[in-house]
Amino acid sequence: MANIELSEQEVIRRESLAKLRELGINPYPAPLYPVNTTAKEIEAGYDPEKGNFQEVCLAGRIMSRRIMGAASFGELQDSTGRIQVYVKRDEICPGEDKTMYNTVWKKLLDIGDIVGVKGFAFITQTGQLSIHVKELTVLSKSLRVLPIVKTDADGKVYDGFSDPELRYRQRYVDLIVNPQVRDVFVQRAQIVATMREYFNEAGCLEVETPILQSIPGGATARPFITHHNALDIDLYMRIANELYLKRLIVGGYSGVYEFAKDFRNEGMDKTHNPEFTCMEIYVAYKDYIWMMEFVEKMLEKIATKLHGTTKVTIGDNEVDFKAGYRRLPILEAIKEYAGVDLAGMGVDELRETCKKLNVEFEPSMGEGKLIDAIFGAYVEEHLIQPTFIIDYPVSMSPLTKRHRNNPDLTERFELFVCGKELANAYSELNDPIDQLERFEEQAALKSHGDDEAMFIDYDFVRALEYGMPPTSGLGMGIDRLTMFMTGQTTIQDVLFFPQMRPEKVLKKED
C-alpha cells in the first residue's frame, strides 16, 4: 500500500472526519435520501404567491458558506445547478443541543462536502431565492480541497480550474467546478438521442456487433492487438463495424445501425483519440445520393434541437447546417484548390506531383493514399461550411461500388465541416468478385509495408456471394459531431475520459 503525502488542509479534513464519527455522525451513511426536487426545478417553478415548494428535500455539494453568528448562508450544487440555503442555529437545533450548527455546520463541514437539507423555499430580503433549512444531514465528507473558481462582476472567470492536463485527468473535479462542461455532455446525450429517434423513424434497427474480431476490417487503420487465452489466438480491437453490419443486410434486415466504440492504434491530436465512438448505418435499396439527403436532414434536425437554429458557432466560424450542402467531386476539389489535374495519374506521376507540391509521402503509399495526401494538404482547410466531397477514385475506396457513369471512380462521399471529415459514406460494393479483387490489392499494399491496409476477409466475401441488395452505408464520428454541435475545439473536451499517459505518482511502499 502506498503512503500518500497529505496537505495541511487534507490533514484537517481527516481530523474533521474523525470528529464527526466521535459525535456519532456517520459521514458516509446509507445511500437512501428522499430527494424530491432539484435546484433547477425550484428556480423554474417557485412562486411566492402560491407558496409552493414548502416541503423541499434537496441534496447537493456545499460550494460556499457565509457564517454570521447564529445564522448563515451557503450555496448547494446538485446535478442541475446551484441554490442558496439559509441555515439558522435554532431551526436545525430546536433543543438545547446546538452541536449540529455550532460544531458540525460551522467547524466540521467544508466546501465540497455533500449534505441533504429539508426545508422550504422563500425569497430573502435581498431578493435571492433560497431554501430555509429545517433539517441538515451529512451525506458525504470530502477529504480533498476543491479548486475555487471565482467570477468577477462582469462574469469573467479567474483562478479557474482550466489546466487541460488536470481537467482531463481529473474530470470529476472539472465537472464539479466548471458547470458548462456538464452542459456539453448533456448536449452530447441529446445528439445521440436525436439520431436514434431519426433512425428509428426511418425503420432502422439498432444492433450490436463484436468488438473483438479475428480480422480488423471495414477501414484502413492500424489495429490494437490482444490475446484470447481460452482460444489461444490473437484478436483485434475493432477499427470499424462495417463488415458485420453489412452481413446483417445480407441476412435480410432492411436497415441497421450501431453506436460503436472503435479503436485505432494511431496518433492523437485535437480531433483524434485512439478510442472513439462511431455511428454506422446501412440501408438496403438506397445509394449514396439518397444518403447525402438523409444526412443533411439529420444534421439540420440535430442543430435545431440543440440550438433552435441551424447555425452553430465553431471557433471563429458560423456554420450553417441547413440542408442543401455543396457536392464537389474530389478530383475537381484538388484541381480547384491545388491547381493540378490528377485524373488518370498512376503511382509514379502522383509521387512526382507530391514532390512538386511539397506534399510529404511514404514509399509504401499507393494511388489512394497519395491522392488523399494531396487533398489533405491543399483542400481540407477550405471546407468550412458542410461540404460533400464525392466520387473518389477506386484506389481510395476498397469497399465502395464503382460509379455508375465512370468505372475509375466510386460512389462515395465524405462530409467535411470546418476543415475536418465528419462522415464517410458509400453506395456499398456488393459484387463479391470485385470485392475479393480489391481485398487482394489491399493485401499487396500490406506486403509492401502499408500496415494500415485491409486484411482479406474471406467470410465477408462469402456473405456477399449469398447476395447483398444494393445498399448505402454511412459512418459518422460522434465525438467530432459533438465537437461541432457544441462549439468545442478539441476532442478531449467532448470525451469524459480522454486517453492520456499514466499519471506519474511517487509511491513509497510500506
Q: Where are the domains of the chain?
A: 8-146, 180-325+385-494
| Positive or negative torsion for Cα 398, 404, 407, 413 | negative
**Number of residues that this document lists for the chain:** 510
What is the dihedral angle through the alpha carbons of 370, 371, 377, 378, rounded to the nearest 10 degrees? 150
Q: In which element (H, E) is residue 192 found?
A: helix 179-201
Q: How far from the centroid of its chain's Cα atoms is residue 92's Cα?
A: 43
Spatial neighbors of 46 by CB under 8 A, at least 6 apart, are 52, 53, 121, 129
Per-residue pLDDT of the chain (510 residues; tens, 9 = 90+): 345 688 999 999 999 999 999 999 999 999 899 999 999 999 999 999 998 999 999 999 999 999 999 999 999 999 999 999 999 999 999 999 999 999 999 999 999 999 999 999 999 999 999 999 999 999 999 999 999 877 666 666 666 788 999 999 999 999 999 989 999 999 999 999 999 999 999 999 999 999 999 988 888 889 999 999 999 999 999 999 999 999 999 999 999 999 999 999 998 898 899 999 999 999 999 999 999 999 999 999 999 999 999 999 998 999 999 999 999 999 999 999 999 999 989 999 999 999 999 999 998 888 889 999 999 999 999 999 999 999 998 888 888 899 999 998 999 999 999 999 999 999 999 999 999 998 888 888 777 777 767 788 999 999 999 999 999 999 999 999 999 999 998 999 999 999 998 887 544 443
What cell numbers appear for 164 in the block?
Answer: 487541460
Count other C-beta atoms under 10 Å from residue 339's C-beta: 9
**C-alpha pair distances (Å), 63 with each of 76, 84, 170:** 6, 10, 18
How high is the pLDDT of residue 447? 76
Q: pTM to 2 decimals?
A: 0.90
**Helix 478-486 with 179-201: angle, nearest 10 deg:** 120
> Which residue, 282, 243, 258, is CA-closest to 458?
243
Count other C-beta atoms under 10 Å from residue 215's C-beta: 17
Whether CATH 2.40.50.140 fits 8-146: yes
Spatial neighbors of 310 by CB under 8 A, at least 6 apart, are 300, 303, 304, 320, 321, 322
Question: Looking at residue 109, what DSSP letter applies?
Answer: -
How high is the pLDDT of residue 469? 98
What cell numbers appear for 462 in the block?
Answer: 462469402
Question: What is the spatial distance between Cα 278 and Cα 276, in angstroms, rounded to a whole number?
Answer: 7
E strand map for 141-249: 150-151, 157-158, 205-206, 212-213, 225-228, 233-237
Spatial neighbors of 190 by CB under 8 A, at least 6 apart, are 305, 306
Question: Looking at residue 80, what DSSP letter applies?
Answer: T
| Positive or negative torsion for Cα 157, 158, 164, 169 | negative
The Cα diameter of the chain in Å comes to: 93
E strand map for 366-510: 387-390, 412-417, 420-427, 471-477
DSSP code string of 217-230: -SS--PPPEEEETT
**What CATH number was assigned to the domain covering residues 180-325+385-494?**
3.30.930.10
Cβ burial of 505 (10 Å; 0-12, 13-18, 19+) is: exposed
Count other C-beta atoms under 10 Å from residue 224's C-beta: 15
